[in-house]
Amino acid sequence: MRPTNAVDLLIEGGIVVTMDPEWRVFDDGAVAIDRGVIVAVGPRWDVVRAYRPGDLIDGRGKLILPGLVNTHTHAPMTLFRGLADDLPVSDWLQRYIWPAESRFMNPEAVRWGTLLAAAEMIRSGVTTFCDMYFHVDHLARAAKEAGMRAIPSWGFVDFPLPGQAGPEDALAQAEDYIRRWQGDPLIIPSVAPHAPYTVDGRWIQEAKTLADRYGVLMHIHVAETEGEVREMQARVGKTPVMYLEELGVLDRNVLAVHCIWVTPAEIELMAERDVAVAHCPESNMKLGSGVAPLLAMLGAGVRVGLGTDSAASNNDLSVLGEIQTAALLDKLTHRDPAAIKAPTVVRMGTLGGAEALGIDHLVGSLEVGKRADVILLDLSRPHLVPLYNVYSQIAYAARASDVQTVIIDGRVVMRDRELLTLDETEVMARVREIARRIRSTEAPAPAGSGGAT
């Protein structure tokens, strides 16, 4: 029998940035982890003398943070990274992305695309991601294989998608999927009607009923483009937010993605209904969609997390990048350097993201009792020296490649830049092979034959 103070893992030394409600930072700290749970976090000496670890990670010269949370992506779309850039959204979707999805996104492609996304996300310190796609079982399995925490949402639209005949079939499959994965330690299932303009109201209501039956999230794109708002007004006489309100589906188990074209009254309504938002500034900038009213949403008390969106519209999956972009974009938009501050955006990339996904009781901060999703950033790099303020360093200077070690649910998945759960060389080789097939048949196909952004 092992002694009572034995723990699986101890991170000793380094600056521990907890992101807890008191914003505690331990300049020479330590984190003790046992059976996937944080059992102690505090000053190094207090923790070190109390616990005897099975495994020890030297945290000296490192910044120790909760794992980053990517609240919105489409992981398999790493296969389309750089395939069709610099195009208007409608062209991009209808001429390139949707046809490519309908032709190439079989279960095998979803698996390799997701593993590539997982490798990239782990390398950049992302420990949780929320996804919307099809062939979601394969996506969930790949995420789990990579050792990541994920909320893969069963995506659907009004027309058939690979592996699903239409909304009715999609919802039946989504229910089976939710049942299969509920209770998994890493994968939290959910359901995703793509958007109010691609899914009929009654199917959005059905999806919400299903989500409520199992207590899972409903994940949906909302008010991404000005054109979408115009289209909804012409078709149903309401904006996307007011249409969802009319359908009676807005509540705290809804994750609304983008929310760029929302009015102040709609923001108030979203706060009242406690709808969460995934803010994806880089995708919004790249597709020229607009600037989401982040300050107004935060000011109203809306839970906002950060999302990368897919690698086809970003083109990377770095939440550190989104933290920086979110800050810079809002300062520029308001022509005010104090509009949004470093701690606020760092919080959005960690605890704020966990709150938006409804999993802040599990992850998002380094606190005793939470699951151990922890990352270490190497501070011994010229662009991170000197260090006056940890939040400034994370928000304005740190890069994805500074992440050195990643722990998810107490398991070390990357150690000193070496991925331990994935054969990265094989994953990249497989993706290059799929990309060769995509490249050889690049001619546009008819519109209306696939997916998601």
Chain contacts with Zn ion (rule: CB under 5 A): 309, 453
Residue 254 CB, shortest distance to Zn ion, in Å, is: 15
Residue 195 CB, shortest distance to Zn ion, in Å, is: 9
DSSP SS3 for 10: strand
**Could you tell me which residues come within 8 angstroms of residue 368 by beta carbon, excluding any fewer than 6 positions away?**
38, 39, 40, 41
Long-range contacts of 431-438 (CB under 8 A, 24+ apart): 431/78, 431/79, 431/112, 431/113, 431/116, 434/79, 434/104, 434/109, 434/112, 434/113, 435/79, 437/104, 438/79, 438/80, 438/83, 438/100, 438/103, 438/104
Instruction: Indicate the residue among 118 and 379 with the shorter CB distance to Zn ion.
Output: 118
d(CA 240, CA 223): 6
32 close to 53: Cβ distance less than 8 angstroms: yes
d(CA 401, CA 364): 21
Residue 321 CB, shortest distance to Zn ion, in Å, is: 16
Q: Which of 371, 295, 363 is nearest to 326 (CA)?
A: 295
157 close to 407: Cβ distance less than 8 angstroms: no
Instruction: Indicate the residue among 97 and 434 with the shorter CB distance to Zn ion.
Output: 97
Strand bridging mode 418-419 / 411-415: antiparallel
Instruction: Indicate the residue among 102 and 284 with the shorter CB distance to Zn ion.
Output: 284
Instruction: Indicate the residue among 53 and 240 with the shorter CB distance to Zn ion.
Output: 240
Instruction: Indicate the residue among 114 and 393 with the shorter CB distance to Zn ion.
Output: 114
Instruction: Indicate the residue among 120 and 309 with the shorter CB distance to Zn ion.
Output: 309
d(CA 199, CA 312): 22
Residue 140 CB, shortest distance to Zn ion, in Å, is: 18
Residue 71 CB, shortest distance to Zn ion, in Å, is: 11
- Torsion sign across C-alpha atoms 115, 117, 123, 128: negative
Residue 75 CB, shortest distance to Zn ion, in Å, is: 11
Residue 309 CB, shortest distance to Zn ion, in Å, is: 5
- Torsion sign across C-alpha atoms 80, 83, 89, 91: negative
Instruction: Indicate the residue among 309 and 355 with the shorter CB distance to Zn ion.
Output: 309
